[in-house]
Structure 1
């Protein structure tokens, strides 16, 4: 039988993920975005001309979820879609000028989230925390693709 203490780390990670999402959602209320919408939008800012399929791979969400995110970002006039001249099935996503005005705010929210998250850790602990999170994320991504 599995004891509760054997999955304490997994439980803490779920709670951490929920807390980070809640914090980011609260911070983004003023710009009318959710944390997942901002993740999708930031991916478009960093990769102008990206396709929905590429975004799906980057932010690791389902195609239907990405389609919904794109629709919401477009309805908020933060992104525009351009159809490929050679293949009408291929649509490129780009930030609009209005969308680019939010970039600095999104960076500030990301920085504030990180500062709150690592509060009380010294630089060495922060680096180790980031290193361990990256290992854990890579492990889950590998397991996900199997």
Structure 2
């Protein structure tokens, strides 16, 4: 006599749903990766948003909170809080924008660069662990496909 219940004997429905509804599959995968990224960020002591802001400022130089918000796709009200926290920690400073005196440019500090470098050391192992089910080639394909999708939207 089998001890499996009727629910246990049935194959999982979600794989079929995910194959039929890419939007659902992408949303669920995105949520799972976001949870993993948030947990990793909590361990590192630098949130995902602040990390991205420091990374962009290091890569492109000083820019407005508006540009940071638009490029990183972080809500404006959240960006204010992120920049406030980074400024309080000494990782960024706000200065008058020399090209538009009505706005401020956010600039990464030396301390911010050091904190970013420290946080970056754990990214490769985190990504390897999070995407371990994919081969390096599949990761590249996923990145290219997501890039295509992200260029479609705002």
TM-score per shorter chain, which class? 0.7 to 0.9
Q: Which residue of 1 aligns with 2:139?
A: 126
Q: Is the 8 A contact 1:25 1:33 kept in 2?
A: no
1:19 aligns with 2:39: no
Secondary structure of the residue aligned to 2:148 is helix
Q: Is the 8 A contact 2:44 2:119 kept in 1?
A: no
Q: Is the 8 A contact 2:49 2:74 kept in 1?
A: no
Q: CA 1:104/1:86 → structure 2, altered by over 3 Å: closer, same or farther?
A: closer
Q: CA 1:128/1:60 → structure 2, altered by over 3 Å: closer, same or farther?
A: same
1:62 aligns with 2:111: no
Inter-partner Cα distance in structure 1 for 2:149 and 2:25:
13
Q: Which residue of 1 aligns with 2:17?
A: 5
Report deviation, 1:86. Answer: 6.2
Inter-partner Cα distance in structure 1 for 2:102 and 2:66:
11
Q: Which residue of 1 aligns with 2:120?
A: 107
CA offset digits 1:64-104 (Å, max 9, x no partner): 22212111111221111111356432211111222111122
Report deviation, 1:58. Answer: 1.0
Secondary structure of the residue aligned to 1:82 is strand
Q: CA 1:101/1:23 → structure 2, altered by over 3 Å: closer, same or farther?
A: same
- Using the size of structure 1 for normalisation, the TM-score is 0.77
- Using the size of structure 2 for normalisation, the TM-score is 0.74
CA offset digits 1:102-129 (Å, max 9, x no partner): 1223322332232123314333222222
Q: Which residue of 2 aligns with 1:83?
A: 96
Please say which of residues 120-129 and 53-62 is displaced more in the overlay: 120-129
Secondary structure of the residue aligned to 1:88 is strand
Structure 1: tracts of 5 or more residues without a match: none
Secondary structure of the residue aligned to 1:93 is strand
Q: Is the 8 A contact 1:20 1:113 kept in 2?
A: no
Q: CA 1:27/1:61 → structure 2, altered by over 3 Å: closer, same or farther?
A: closer
Q: CA 1:33/1:52 → structure 2, altered by over 3 Å: closer, same or farther?
A: same
